[in-house]
Structure 1
Amino acid sequence: MSLEADLKKVLKRNVLANKFIKILNSKENNEIKLQKINKFMQEHYNNKKLYRFRVDNDYNLDYLQNDKLWLSNLNELNDIFEGEIFLGKNYNYDLLKKEIIKQFPMFNENELKNEYLDKVIREQFKAMFYIACFTEDLYNFNMWANYANGFKGFCLEYDFNELMLYMNLLNKDSNEFTFYPVVYKNIKEFKSCNCFSDEIFNRLIEKPSEFSFEYEWRLINGVGLEDENNLGKGIIFIKPTSIYIGSKMTKEYKEKVLKVCKKNEIEAYKMVLEKNIKKIDFKKLALE
């Protein structure tokens, strides 16, 4: 794909992501909002697939075998601006102190000096969320290199419609889980925000434009404050529809993966590289 085609794809995707987020953040009642979300999904994402890249270790193999999903704490993601809160130069720190003490009684006003407030807000905010990342693009060299251990890992395929149905099931008794497309922006466009308004949660779904090649969606779990040493957590999840095996996966690990695929009735594909034209393709494997 040419640079111009890549740019058009990113821009089109950002437009759709912004429309989706606008619906989710609207002030309409939940019934009307749900109707609009379902209509939007049918128009733009019906029968689409999402993908999740994994490295080749025993931990991910166990999660594959047991239909589980790992959600990382916000602090563990690879973007240094992940979830960063920008307060702005003219922020009302006195009001902020009162709000922090109201929300987090473990602090007192004497501890909250202005120069430490930014740090306190960032650390507490990041400790409140777990995230699992998905992508729209299976054929991306950068994704395979960065998130599948240099083509040694694998990629899981999920049906978008099944995923949205499971989201409704997760939120049957509470609304702890949300599913958003990420919006990519120039870092200079990251604005200051009111730390105790809904707009702060936009920081969970905004990333610098340098990451736009990821075409990312995020499953977000708002869990409240957790142990700062907690790296993440696992949840029961839907079974992937297919698994794609990287071209550099070891024979031993590949045998383990295919054994799980056969047991769990998951279709498996191996990567085929057309080196002369730098293209990724896949060939279906027989599960014996």
Structure 2
Amino acid sequence: MTYDKQFLIEYLYNYLSSKTDHDFIKGYIEKIPKKLYRFRSCTENDFNAISNDYIWLSLASEFDDIKDSTIKYNFKSQKDEIFDIYCDWYPHILKTELKKKYPKIDFSRWNVNRGLIDEYLDNTVDKSGTYNRNKMKSYLLSKGLKTSDITVIDQFFKNYLTQGNIEKVANSLMDDFSNKMLELKDSFLATCFTQTYKNDNLWQTYAKKYTGFCIEYDLSKVEVNSQSNLLFQFAPMLYGAKKPVDFVELFRIAKMEYCKEDYDKRVAANMDVQFNLQARTKSKTYDHEKEWRLYLKKDSVETRKYTFPCISRIIIGKDMKERNKARLINIAKKNGFEICQQKYNLLTSSFSYYKIENGS
């Protein structure tokens, strides 16, 4: 089974949807691996977790990889399109802000629209994008406006309709999206798994150079309809370069929501999928991990020690200390799961795994 980008996108559209598609959920669960693995390093917490049948849930912000669950933007290359959207947006901003500052003035006679904004920019802003008050004054007087009008317009257009200010607005919106990213990182608790135990890098890294162990979880032990379809919370990670989120589309949605305009809500749903797709994409340097994650909404979990009685086997690293090996064997006997030993064959440069019988 190939768990590629299209597989994850289809999953996210259904996972994030407010509608429950039972047929899709059933089909998805049938496609996920029947067994997943975790490598551990013989800490006291590791022994406690397997003894008491739980897994520890972490926030994405707690992972060692600072890029984990982040979202990539590319604002600078899209400035012209954003400026165009902002010019459509600005008449609404202007009217709202004027009403706030001058509640007693009747602005109904001001027909502020996109055409007027374009005309104003052509006559009051230099080619460099710099606001020119003298040009503005001459232009407005030629249009028959009063001096009092000029004072009000000067303040608001200078503060809101220059290239520099539009960048400030965009940056403010960026801050909002950055906060959304941080919120996304901290709204889910997660545990990381891998598809295989035959991975030298994972034995080296997470099992402390073969001195630790690998836990095999049998997902067939999870009841499909229990705990709100727990298996549907499992999903693969992607590996590769992140394509920047379309900031223009985000800016357009923000403008339509501000102006209370009707728009296709599927656009917003698509952006939500793109956010989550990026959050579940890691650098190509990690692709050897073949990672799957269990994501649970933070507010739905009472404790980080999440009960997960699905261990079917423990695989002991080839260089594990004898006291740790004995301890694991005792835990395996008590909890009733299989325990295996990893062996390295120097002649064939390969590993083999054999079941430990009767604690020996």
- Both proteins in one fold, TM over 0.5: yes
* TM-score, length-scaled by structure 2: 0.59
Question: Which amino acid in 2 is paired with 1:13?
Answer: T
Structure 2 Cα separation of the partners of residues 283 and 223 of structure 1: 39
Question: Which amino acid in 1 is paired with 2:294?
Answer: L
Structure 1 Cα separation of the partners of residues 300 and 176 of structure 2: 17
* TM-score, length-scaled by structure 1: 0.73
Question: Which amino acid in 2 is paired with 1:30?
Answer: D
Task: Please identify, of 274-283 and 233-242, the stretch whose mean Cα deviation from structure 2 is larger.
Answer: 274-283
Corresponding residue of 2:353: 282
Cα distance per residue 1:126-173 (max 9 Å; x no partner)? 12121111111111100111111221111111123224x36x42226x
Gaps of 5+ in 1: 1-11, 96-109, 227-231
Aligned length: 246
Structure 2 Cα separation of the partners of residues 247 and 190 of structure 1: 43
Q: What secondary structure does 1:82 align onto?
A: coil
The answer to whether residue 195 in structure 2 is matched with residue 136 in structure 1 is yes
The answer to whether residue 199 in structure 2 is matched with residue 199 in structure 1 is no
Corresponding residue of 1:25: 13
The answer to whether residue 226 in structure 2 is matched with residue 169 in structure 1 is yes
Contact 1:82 1:203 in 2 (8 A): no
Pick 1 or 2: higher relative contact order, CA cutoff 8 A, min separation 6.
2
Q: What secondary structure does 1:249 align onto?
A: coil
Structure 2 Cα separation of the partners of residues 178 and 35 of structure 1: 12
Structure 1 Cα separation of the partners of residues 219 and 294 of structure 2: 12
Contact 1:176 1:221 in 2 (8 A): no
Question: Which amino acid in 1 is paired with 2:36?
Answer: L
Q: What secondary structure does 2:354 align onto?
A: strand
The answer to whether residue 40 in structure 2 is matched with residue 54 in structure 1 is yes
Against the structure 1 CA distance between its residues 76 and 255, is the aligned structure 2 distance closer, same or farther, given a 3 Å change threshold? same
Corresponding residue of 1:98: none
The answer to whether residue 70 in structure 2 is matched with residue 84 in structure 1 is yes
Corresponding residue of 1:120: 179
Q: 1:209 aligns with which of 270, 276, 284?
A: 284
Task: Please identify, of 26-35 and 141-150, the stretch whose mean Cα deviation from structure 2 is larger.
Answer: 26-35
Superposed, 1:214-225 pairs within 5 Å as 214-224=289-299
Structure 2 Cα separation of the partners of residues 55 and 190 of structure 1: 36
Contact 2:12 2:273 in 1 (8 A): no
The answer to whether residue 255 in structure 2 is matched with residue 184 in structure 1 is no
Against the structure 1 CA distance between its residues 225 and 259, is the aligned structure 2 distance closer, same or farther, given a 3 Å change threshold? closer
How many angstroms does 1:277 deviate by? 3.2
Corresponding residue of 2:341: 270
Q: 2:204 aligns with which of 145, 166, 171?
A: 145
Question: Which amino acid in 2 is paired with 1:19?
Answer: F
Normalized per residue, the structure richer in strand is 1
How many angstroms does 1:87 deviate by? 3.4
User: What is the alpha-carbon root mean square deviation over aligned residues?
Assistant: 3.4
Superposed, 1:102-117 pairs within 5 Å as 113=172, 116-117=175-176
